[in-house]
Amino acid sequence: TLWRGIAVDLFDEYKEGKIITWWSISSCTADINVAKNFMSCLGGGAASLITLHCKTACDVSGLSFYPHECESLLQPGTKLKVLSRRKKGNIAEIEVEEV
């Protein structure tokens, strides 16, 4: 399980059952607290915490200048199916799996 935290509310876009394609290289982390930090680093407003069940993520923590961030990368064009979503205040919690 990996996480991605972003300072954007994706709740309306990420509906259950929808297939989402991430077209760029996407960074995620094995440490939920690192993801939560990225959610708030751009102002503390609306944000999304995405829980990812991935098959092809590449762990790059050993190559990173910040190994404590436990970073993995997803390749461009990764397709994700939305399994569930819920709102907790101004935070969208979204669970996806790679398809």
pLDDT at residue 38 in the model: 85
pLDDT in tens, 6-48: 999 999 999 999 999 999 999 999 999 999 988 875 555 789 9
- Residue 28 sits at the vertex; the CA angle it makes with 52 and 88, to the nearest 5 degrees, is 60
Distance CA 48, CA 4 (A): 8
pLDDT band per the 50, 70, 90 thresholds, residue 92: very high
What's the pLDDT at 39?
84
2-98 homologous superfamily = Toxin ADP-ribosyltransferase; Chain A, domain 1 (3.90.176.10)
Domain extents in the chain: 2-98
Read off the DSSP letter of residue 58.
Answer: E
- Residue pair 28/74 in contact (Cβ under 8 Å)? The answer is yes
> Is 12 exposed, middle or buried (CB count within 10 Å of its CB: 0-12, 13-18, 19+)?
exposed
pTM above 0.75? yes
